[in-house]
Amino acid sequence: MGYFLDDFKKENPPTFDGEMNKSQDVEAWLLGVRKFFGLHDYLENMKARIALFSLKGKEDIWWEDVKNVKDIHEDDLTWHAFERLFKKKYVSYRYYDDRAKEFYELGMGSMTNEESTSRFLEFLIYVPYLREEKAMVQRFINGFTIACRDQIEFDEPRSLEEAIQNLKHCYE
């Protein structure tokens, strides 16, 4: 475990002390931890143990309470199980509902190519049920003005990547 923690400390990873009071801040912390794990090929239970190590202050106490109440053995805990428990505590369901609503209300007509693509992809993670490529392409296209939609659809994009490439024609 020492070797893993040394790597973790060298990367200057985010820590969590519970002072983040917005769901978006919690999501940002989780994203930082996921990015770190993306750089390293750790087993799922090691990811959980490293994340537990980054909890500080009253969050250590929260974890001890959860562990005792739910009779969790840290050696058996996976990253996904920890993440689920963590989100249940710190991220409200309303936050996810609000992000999904923003996704469906996203109008990209006045944004640049990069802005519209970035916003779409940012909110796409909040609608996990939208995974079929054709549905993602259609939702992406529907966020634009009719003239821009026609230009994007002209080449009949079959993937989200192709639709994003076709978006360039709207700004030429």
State pLDDT tens for residues 83-128. 999 988 888 788 888 888 888 888 776 778 888 888 888 888 888 8
Long-range contacts of 86-95 (CB under 8 A, 24+ apart): 86/26, 86/30, 86/51, 87/26, 87/30, 89/62, 90/18, 90/20, 90/23, 90/26, 91/23, 91/26, 91/27, 92/23, 95/23, 95/24
- CA dist 6 and 11 (Å) reads 9
Please give the pLDDT value at position 19.
64
Please give the pLDDT value at position 78.
95
**Residues of the chain with confidence (pLDDT) below 70:** 1-15, 17-21, 109, 171-172
Please give the pLDDT value at position 35.
86
Please give the pLDDT value at position 12.
66
Using CB atoms within 10 Å of the CB of residue 146, give its burial: 0 to 12 exposed, 13 to 18 middle, 19+ buried. Answer: exposed
Rounded to the nearest 5 degrees, what angle is found at the Cα of 89, between the Cα atoms of 86 and 92?
110
Among residues 49, 61, 53, which one has the least CA distance to residue 18?
Answer: 61
Q: Are 37 and 46 in contact (CB under 8 A)?
A: no
Among residues 51, 48, 40, 49, which one has the least CA distance to residue 13?
Answer: 51
Say what the pTM is: 0.63
